[in-house]
Amino acid sequence: MFKRFRSLFRVVTRRRDFEDGMSEELRFHVEQWTEDLVRSGMSREKAARLIRMEFGSLDNVKLDCREAFGVHLFDELRRQLSYAARLLRKAPGFTATALLTLAVCFGANLTIFAVIDSVLLRPLPFPESDRLMTIFNTYPKAGVERDGSSVTNYYERRGHIPAFASLSVYGYGTEIVGEPGSTERLQTMRVSPDFFSTLGLGPAIGRTFTDEETTSETNHVAILSDTFWRQRYNADPNVIGKQIRVNSVPRTVIGVLPPAFRFLSSDARVFLPLAARLEDRAPSRRHSGGNVIQMIARLQPDATLAQAQSEIDAQNEALEVDDPQAKMIADAGFRSLVVPLRADHVAAVRPTLLLLEAGVLVLLLIGAVNLVNLLLIRASGRVKELAVRQALGAGWRYLVSEVVVETTLLTFAGGLLGLAIGAGGIQLLRGLGADRLPLGSRIVFDARLALVALVAAIIMGIVFAVPVACFHLRRHLGNALQSESRGGTSGHGAQILRHSFIVSQIALAFILLAGAGLLGLSLQRVMAISPGFQSDHVLTGQILLPWADYSEAGRLKFVESLMDKLDHLPGVLSAGVVNNVPFSGNSGKSAATVAGHVRRPGESARGHYSYGVAGDYFRAMGFSLRAGRFLTADDSRRSARVCVVDEDFARYYWPHASAIGQGLWDGSEAGKDAEAFTIVGVVGGVKQAGLTESEAQGAIYYPYAFRIGDSVFVAVRTSLPPESFALTLQKVVRQIDADVPVSDLRSMDTRIADSLVAHRSPALLAGLFSGIALLLTSIGTYGVLSYAVAQRRREIGLRMALGAQPGQIRSEFFYLSLRLLAGGVILGVIGAWLTGQAMQAVLFHVPAFNPAILAGAVFVMALVSLIACLLPSQRAARISPMETLAEE
């Protein structure tokens, strides 16, 4: 079979050679034969006549030869293609509508499929990546769903879980890289030595980290990403052994990763060993993950996820036996979950993406129904022509192939246009934040995608041909020749088919419209939530203070002088510093113990958002004060043990009393009385991770001196537009230390808007899809009704001649479209309700059945389809009886 295709392919690609060879062969035969005949005594003329008689026409022989070789099919195809192209050119209105419909539908599908492909389908760029797992600790009853893993977990599990071939840990970070004066802030990763072997992809040059390099004294080595190596070192092959300064500490480059290396969505340029002190590896630190360090593992070829999970569970149980905190850990519902790495990484966006994919598929379905309808209408215009041709002996095979060629030509051209729209659509999606999706930076428009689209286009062309071909072949020739010749009404069955197509189109468009409405309403509800502070006029930025350059005292001094400088700037109303502003994308919780609080049975230590603040942070952010006072600049200087909690925290521990004057300890154990922090104020609750955050976990604000970290966020309330203050802020920081950049400079309003992208973009896209769906549906309705009017011209003319009023005719078509609309809407409401149920995962406080949304959708749908039917019914009413009767 394959060989035959190959020989056919050879002939088709070298068609001229085939023809020349055939002619030469036949000429040779004739000449040889003539010679033989002449030699046997025949005259040349007589020989020629004999040969002509025996051989028949040479052209006929050639025709038979071509057919024997299968070449004739290609000649046929070429002829049919040019015929189809001619037909399509002759109907520019139909062709343009069809091509546009196809292009938009293909383009939209291609765009969303590109995202689905990169985020959900294409494997991670590691060998046998489906065996990569992630393992994280969870304490659901303490309000901590995800706590990463601890260094202790790593050392306890490494080599002790038989289901895993390899296990490693990593943490994301940002570091200041480069020599003083030319530093830049880069994303980095700290990884355990077996990180690269777990992934199955290691350095292209050099080596990986060793176990000896995992202490803070010996970890002065680094592995570079391919990008960084090319940019900073100009792809120098002798880079191994060179020094690179990371956070002012010189490190030796020991390896360069291959270009294809990309771990999940990370854009890390420099990889450093994950160093840990011996005491951090001790059993007492087992539950100190804090979502900073993550664990990955590779399953053994014959092991399953369930096996790994049960081995992890068994080990956890065995280890917790002699843990003094065992009871509390168990109360918190502690478990370590094993989850496939990729699924875990994209879990949050999966429902939204699937929803959008369903949306574009519905769009494609509407477009397809539209097109089939238009094709059928067109086919009925050609019934007579085809009936005549069939009557004259055209075979059904030939007619079917003609239809297939025509529809496939149409869909293929539409597919090509769709490629262009898809490429544009992917750009549009980038603007809507698609590259910020997990694995979103892999979204590309490549040859693979184009191939998928074109193959789909061809398949669609063949599918479209089926109803058209059936329409032509099923007809009784005699009937067709007779009835259509006098422009009579079309078959009842065909009409029902066309109408049910319109009904289903209206229903599908209605579902899309209602779905978009639900998403829009959900977005509106999210946006209506107050973040708990006044987000306007606040500029925030992150400042990184590397340990090597800054001691704790140095950091305090830096923050002090920053506050001092900012307070004296014109336009600054108030300024403050915090470990982490709300909506920064990373917010860790840690435990606190409240003096005098007796844990209820089953209650574990709770994780609370815990921050250190300096300057006038609360006023800068516009927090509201519920009781007591804010922490002020003086508190951070005096180092008095005071703190402020939010109302959620206060309500949880003192539901009936005041929190002011109460004491608490930072950590999961009660300490000495002298170490307790006294609550001096209660502030309003604030959304920390996002507006949709439902669980009020409580927050504690300590003076910065007690919570010094290597990164701080500065928040400045200005009287000017906050963005205009960005340059001034950078200048002020540079005055204190020229090597410390301010990054992630955004106003709080922008941060909140950015956090809504997961709600806004799907709503926008769904709105766009339903807009297109409405347009397609109105085109479809218009097309079918116009056709119905054209079909019944004679009948209407006759009726008007007998006294029917234009108004009667108009309302007859109007009622027809009302019936179609009603049918579509009834089906649509059912569909929309089911869709709403399926969408619950991505909706925020919006029930599946929302009467307002449905009423709105009915209104829009009715408006659009009635406008679409207005023109045809108007035309029907204006039919002149004289003209139509004279036509016949």
Partner 1 sequence: MGKTAELLPGTLDMLILKAVSLKPLHGYGVLLRIRQISKDALEIPQGSLYPALYRLEHHDLIAAEWGQSENNRRAKYYTLTAAGRRRLRDETAGWNRLASAIAAALNTTPEEV
Candidate segments 65-73, 686-694, 816-824, 868-876, binder of partner 1 by CB under 8 A = 65-73
Note whether 485 binds partner 1 by CB under 8 A. Answer: no
Q: Residue 65 or residue 292: which is nearer to partner 1 going by CB?
A: 65
For partner 1, the closer of residues 69 and 849 by Cβ is: 69
Per CB under 8 A, 26 contacts partner 1: yes
Residue in 14, 15, 23, 64 binding partner 1, rule: CB under 8 A: 64
CB nearer to partner 1: give 72 or 436.
72
String of DSSP letters for 300-324: -TT--HHHHHHHHHHHHHHHHTT-T
R_g over Cα of the chain: 38
Element (DSSP H or E) covering residue 505: helix 492-527
Neighbours of 674 (CB within 10 A): 6
Query: Of the two residues 40 and 238, which places its CB atom closer to partner 1 in the complex?
Result: 40
Ramachandran bin of 688, using left for φ above 0, alpha for ψ from -120 to 50, beta for the remaining angles: alpha
Segment lying near partner 1 (by CB under 8 A), choices 1-9, 525-533, 665-673, 702-710: 1-9
# residues near partner 1 by CB under 8 A: 27
User: According to the binding rule CB under 8 A, does residue 33 interact with partner 1?
Assistant: yes
Judged by CB under 8 A, the stretch of 61-69, 689-697, 779-787, 835-843 that binds partner 1 is 61-69
In the bound complex, what is the minimum distance in angstroms from residue 93's beta carbon to partner 1? 44
* Minimum distance, C-beta of residue 31 to partner 1, in the bound complex (Å): 8
**How far is it, in rounded angstroms, from Cα 717 to Cα 226?**
41
Give the angle subtended at the CA of 87 by the CAs of 81 and 90, to the nearest 5°.
140
As to burial, measured by CB atoms within 10 angstroms (0-12 exposed, 13-18 middle, 19+ buried), residue 165 is middle
| CB 37 to partner 1: min, Å | 12
39 near partner 1, judged by CB under 8 A: no
Ranges within 666-705 binding partner 1 (CB under 8 A): none
49 binds partner 1 (CB under 8 A): no
Compare residues 6 and 242 and give the one whose CB is closer to partner 1: 6
- How near is the Cβ of 41 to partner 1 at its closest, in Å? 14
Which listed range, 20-28, 108-116, 597-605, 709-717, lies at the site for partner 1 (CB under 8 A)?
20-28
Strand residue runs (E) in 781-835: none
Q: Are 801 and 881 in contact (CB under 8 A)?
A: yes
- Round to whole Å and give the CA distance between 395 and 407: 19
User: Considering only residues 23, 43, 46, 67, which one is a binding residue for partner 1 as defined by CB under 8 A?
Assistant: 67
60, 252, 530, 837: which one contacts partner 1 (CB under 8 A)?
Answer: 60
Q: Is 292 exposed, middle or buried (0-12, 13-18, 19+ CB in 10 A)?
A: middle
Letters for 68-107 (x = contact with partner 1 by CB under 8 A, - = none) are xxx-------------------------------------
Among 13, 45, 54, 182, binds partner 1 (CB under 8 A): 54
Cβ proximity to partner 1: between 29 and 384 the closer is 29
Residue 53 CB, shortest distance to partner 1, in Å, is 9
Candidate residues 8, 361, 497, 753; the one interacting with partner 1 per rule CB under 8 A: 8
CB of 70 to partner 1, least distance (A): 6
Does residue 4 touch partner 1 according to CB under 8 A?
yes
For residue 290, report the phi and psi dihedrals to the nearest 5 degrees. 70, 15
Give, in order, the Cα–Cα distances in Å from 410 to each of 97, 364, 405, 547: 11, 15, 9, 65
Instruction: Give the Cα separation of 767 and 602 in Å (integer).
Output: 47
Q: Does 652 bind partner 1 (CB under 8 A)?
A: no
Q: Which residue in 14, 20, 23, 24 binds partner 1 (CB under 8 A)?
A: 24
Amino acid at site 553: A
Query: What is the distance of C-alpha 351 from the center of its chain?
Result: 10
By beta-carbon proximity to partner 1, the closer residue of 28 and 398 is 28
**Exposed, middle or buried: residue 294 (CB in 10 Å: 0-12, 13-18, 19+)?**
buried
Cβ-based nearer residue to partner 1, 30 or 689: 30
Near partner 1 by CB under 8 A, which window of 31-39, 145-153, 557-565, 678-686?
31-39
> Quick check: 48 binds partner 1 (CB under 8 A)?
no
Interaction between residue 29 and partner 1 (CB under 8 A): yes
Residue 742: which H helix or E strand, with range?
strand 742-747
* Residue of 19, 37, 48, 55 interacting with partner 1 (CB under 8 A): 55
| HSE-up of residue 142 (Cα within 13 Å, Cβ side) | 29
What pairs with residue 190 in β-bridges?
A: 171, 272
CB of 30 to partner 1, least distance (A): 9
67/145 with CB nearer partner 1: 67
Residue 74: CB minimum distance to partner 1, A: 13
Segment near partner 1 (CB under 8 A), from 27-35, 592-600, 618-626, 739-747?
27-35
The reply on whether position 833 binds partner 1 by CB under 8 A is no
CA atoms of 15 and 12, how far apart (whole Å) = 5
Give the whole-angstrom CA distance, residue 88 versus residue 91. 5
Q: Indicate whether 23 belongs to the interface with partner 1 (CB under 8 A).
A: no
Distance CA 284, CA 156 (A): 12
Q: Is 677 helix (H, G, I), strand (E, B) or coil?
A: strand
Category of 586 on φ-ψ map: left (φ > 0), alpha (ψ -120 to 50) or beta = beta
What are the φ and ψ backbone dihedral angles of 666, each rounded to 5 degrees?
Answer: -80, 110
56, 123, 571, 721: residue in contact with partner 1 (rule CB under 8 A):
56
C-alpha 512 chain-centroid distance? 18
Rounded to a whole number of angstroms, the minimum distance from the CB of residue 395 to partner 1 is 20
Interface residue with partner 1, options 12, 37, 48, 61 (CB under 8 A): 61
Sole binder of partner 1 in the list 12, 65, 470, 527 (CB under 8 A) = 65
Cα–Cα distance for residue pair 846/517, rounded to 1 Å = 10
CB of 73 to partner 1, least distance (A): 12
* Nearest Cα to Cα of residue 122 among 320, 292, 284, 262: 262
DSSP state of 623: B
**Of 47-55, 375-383, 649-657, 855-863: span binding partner 1 (CB under 8 A):** 47-55
* Torsion sign (Cα): 750, 751, 756, 758: positive
E-only strand ranges, 87-163: 132-138
25 binds partner 1 (CB under 8 A): yes
Nearest distance from C-beta of residue 15 to partner 1, angstroms: 15
For residues 46 and 207, which CB has a smaller minimum distance to partner 1 in the complex?
Answer: 46
Q: Which is nearer to partner 1, 34 or 187 (CB)?
A: 34
Q: Can residue 28 be called a binding residue for partner 1 (CB under 8 A)? A: yes
CB of 352 to partner 1, least distance (A): 54
Q: Report 620-639 residues binding partner 1 (CB under 8 A).
A: none
> How would DSSP label each residue in 215-266?
STTT--EEEE-HHHHHHHHTT-TT-TT-EEEETTEEEEEEEE--TT---TT-
Shortest Cβ 28–partner 1 spacing (Å): 5
Q: Is 478 buried (19+), middle (13-18) or exposed (0-12) by CB count in 10 A?
A: exposed
DSSP 188-226: EEEE-TTHHHHHT---SEE----GGG-STTT--EEEE-H
| C-alpha triplet 605, 145, 621: angle, nearest 5° | 80
CB 36, min distance to partner 1, A = 8
Summarize as ranges the residues that interact with partner 1 (CB under 8 A): 3-4, 7-8, 21-22, 24-26, 28-29, 31-33, 51, 54-56, 60-61, 64-70
